[in-house]
Amino acid sequence: MKADMERRGFLVGIGALALVPGLASAAQGQARPVPEGAFRLERVLTRGLADGKSIVVTRHWGVAFEKTGPGALRITGKQTFAHVDAPASLQAISRIEARRDESDLFPLDLDAQGLIVVADRQGPVAPLPDSVLAEAISYAKARSAGENVTASSRQFLADLSQRGLDWMTGLPRDLFYPAPRDRRAEREIVLADGMAGTVAMREHVQADTASGLMTRYYREATTKTETMSRTGSETWSLAREVL
């Protein structure tokens, strides 16, 4: 998972430092309180399929916070639950995915701004949906050039869908201390075969007003044409464990 963060560094590099909660207090030398107790981190990843069905992967981790330096925190954790809901034809793959242990997501270190520390350090927050959208369309157009318009259109849609999935599976650096926001971007597209459609991306982020900790981090990517509609989404949530 950490390797995935580094491979997808270009997708976590756009944003503004002013959007990150806790930055002002860090600049003033005020240390962020260490969240006490055990927390449950949940991630629900939904990937739409061409036939209208979907694959839903749900994972839980038990996590805890500890102080590692002035304003810096470390999050330790272990996967406690995994479930995959998928069509019957994909049950074999589903069982493999459900058995996969992603405890190696942790430990994660947070800097004084509450951002996940990564090797490339290319930016403070998850990218804006319109930035991801522009990059995805540009990439798909470059890959789909060809004389066969039908094949080019299919390639374009496949690449566009994959780029949306890449955005959702990259771990946001501001996952644990995000700025609350609701941002969306939508563009009309015209395929090589003349078919029209739309592609849209949304990011809806909520945080606890008292602690600044993330409560819900939702991202969605949708591609629609006259003949198909495919939506993928990712929802992170963080809550105290109830003993």
Distance between CA atoms of residues 184 and 181, nearest Å = 10
Q: Give the H/E segment covering residue 183.
A: strand 181-190
What are the tens digits of pLDDT across the range 197-241?
888 989 999 999 999 999 999 999 988 888 778 889 999 999 999
* Average confidence (pLDDT) over 173-195: 89
Q: Yes or no: say if 222 and 163 are a contact pair by the CB < 8 Å rule.
A: no
Report the candidate in 170, 168, 183, 139 with the shortest Cα–Cα distance to residue 230: 168
Looking only at the bridges linking them, the beta strands covering 214-225 and 229-240 are: antiparallel
Half-sphere exposure in the Cβ direction for 140 (13 Å, CA): 26
Q: What are the boundaries of each domain within the chain?
A: 2-240
More confident call, 30 vs 154: 154
Q: How confident is the model at residue 31 (pLDDT cuts 50, 70, 90)?
A: low
Q: How confident is the model at residue 65 (pLDDT cuts 50, 70, 90)?
A: very high
Provide CB contacts within 8 A for 142, sequence distance 6+.
none
**What is the pTM assigned to this prediction?**
0.79
**What would the two tokens of residue 242 be?**
């109830």
**What would the two tokens of residue 19 be?**
């959007």
Report the candidate in 87, 97, 100, 94 with the shortest Cα–Cα distance to residue 49: 87
**What would the two tokens of residue 90 be?**
């994909």
Q: How confident is the model at residue 56 (pLDDT cuts 50, 70, 90)?
A: very high
What are the tens digits of pLDDT across the range 92-121?
988 999 999 999 999 999 999 999 998 654
Distance between CA atoms of residues 62 and 72, nearest Å = 20
Q: Give the H/E segment covering residue 93.
A: helix 91-99
Q: Yes or no: say if 201 and 8 are a contact pair by the CB < 8 Å rule.
A: no
